[in-house]
Amino acid sequence: MPSLDDVSLLLVWTAVAIYALAFIAYTIDLARRSAQTLDEKDAAAVRERELVAAGGGSVAPVGPTSLAVAPSQRVRPVFARIGTSLTWLGFLFHVGGDVTRGIAAGRVPWANMYEFALTGTMLVVAVYLAVLFRYDLRFLGALITGLVVLLLGGSVFAFYVQVAPLSDPLKSPWLVIHVFVASLSTAFFALTFGLSVLQLMQTRRERKLAAADGAPVRAWGFLRTLPSSETLESLAYRFAIVGFIFWTFTLIAGSIWANDAWGRFWGFDTKEVWTFVIWVLYAGYIHARATRGWRGTRSAWLSIIGFAAVLFNFAVVNVFFKGLHAYSGLTN
């Protein structure tokens, strides 16, 4: 009879497979968005030719707001809805895998690298799905599900370990608080990252449009259905602030826990230093966004670099740097 840990692993792999299907559905949705904008552009060109032939003059070229058409003429986002439904299904299996791992271990399931990834990616999906109730960010679905497939699937391959007892420093209530809040912060940073990537793409398209002065511009077609770069930046900024607040708490809680475990608040351990580096990067991003001279492309790059530092802190610092925070579990 399979153990609870085996059941957990089966549920996790099932979640990865469903997330992969959701990624495909979201990708098809982006392709359909591109096709939709091309169809509208062709229709506008036909109308213009008809008006010119009838002596009625020309019409304005189709721009970024050309999607404001009658609902009956819009392409319904069928694949976006399929992708979201699959993401919900994958999330349920993901939660099941996380919970059964915790029951098998007899503790919260975030005590080593595999469990960090398991819980962290679950929170990324949870925050994305929760945000959908307020904002229609299904255009981020392909990026979020693709990221989760890579991180979760890769972690199962590279970081999976059998359930093991906690080391002495981890036997603390701060394990529940500190690691959970850090994972929740990372989830908001992931959304900020995705929006910043799209912001850069949209900014490039908008600059091409401005320089082309009405001439055709080569760009990803789905970008025409997305909000402006300024709107994407504003939304990314909101998520970054939430993530930054949680990360600040993570830094403070980690110092308190360090004092309980090792008798000092700060010791320049590699993990502590990188946690502070990430805090500085996002503090810089928030300050840059609040300062008009650093809005736009430069602040977006700071956001992307900040999330790259988060991934580096997880995947590289935990494995290749020795210190008091060596809790990867890979040497067990």
Other Cβ atoms less than 10 A from the Cβ of 204: the count is 15
Q: Express each pLDDT in 66-83 by its tens digit.
A: 323 333 444 468 999 999
Asked whether the predicted pLDDT for residue 88 surpasses 90, the reply is yes
pTM of the model: 0.83
Return the closest-CA partner of residue 79 out of 16, 117, 34: 34
Return the closest-CA partner of residue 183 out of 236, 111, 75: 111
Per-chain mean pLDDT for the chain: 82
For the chain, give the percent of residues with pLDDT over 90: 46
Q: Out of 90-94, 177-181, 182-186, which region has the weakest mean confidence (pLDDT)?
A: 177-181
CA-CA distance, 136 to 269, in Å (whole number)? 41
Domain edges within the chain: 1-67+74-163, 166-332
Q: Out of 47-61, 124-138, 200-214, 255-269, which region has the weakest mean confidence (pLDDT)?
A: 47-61
Sign, Cα dihedral of 96, 98, 99, 103: positive
CA-CA distance, 39 to 62, in Å (whole number)? 11
Asked whether the predicted pLDDT for residue 331 surpasses 90, the reply is no
Give residue 325's pLDDT band: very low, low, confident or very high (50, 70, 90).
low
Task: Report residue 241 as tokens.
Answer: 């602030």
CA-CA distance, 18 to 10, in Å (whole number)? 12
Asked whether the predicted pLDDT for residue 42 surpasses 50, the reply is no
Question: Which distant-in-sequence residues (6+ apart) come within 8 Å of 88 by Cβ?
Answer: 129
CA-CA distance, 331 to 319, in Å (whole number)? 10
